[in-house]
Amino acid sequence: MIILGYLYRAYLFFRQGKFASKIRAASLRAFKAQVHPTAFISYGSRCFGPKGIEIGAHSFIGPHVNIVANDTTVKIGDNVLIAAGTKIIGRNHNYESKDKTIKDQGYVQAPIVIEDNVWIGYHVVILSGVTIGEGSIIAAGSVVTKDVGPYKIVGGIPARTLKER
């Protein structure tokens, strides 16, 4: 039985194609994630806290994308493209008290919203509390720490507006 479990996880993690994507989506739905039937989830992608995750229609989650929604929500709209290696992180360590170690202060979490028709480039990091407006483009390698307005093209560390679409 343990060997079957390992084989199943290996299949989910490494297998490519539409059928494997459907199995990954069904596995997320079994853990209370809201994944539209037409969403595509590539191999190697991982979701932490799936009951707080929504993935809209015709959205594409690229290979090795990590989505962290522990104790918060991550909402991905319709027709969103998320390239490989992207990290969507809905929580962060609390560090306000100087009297406690950081590891003993718990977490601060805030929802992340990625609206419809957004393109997120390779290896982008999106931090908690961010809303990315409809039709926006996030350049590869960017770190998004603040809201992005609709139809903006942003890039850099931290991400800033480069131009409008």
Write the DSSP assignment of 97-135 as a string of letters. Answer: -SSS-GGGS-EEE--EEE-SS-EE-TT-EE-TT-EE-TT
pLDDT surpasses 90 at 11: no
Structure tokens at 90: 């809905």
Residue 27: pLDDT band (50, 70, 90) is confident
pLDDT at 14: 59
pTM across the whole model: 0.87
With beta carbons less than 8 A apart as the criterion, state whether 14 and 43 touch. Answer: yes
The Cα–Cα gap between 155 and 124 comes to 9
Known catalytic residues?
93
- The more confidently predicted of residues 126 and 107 is 126
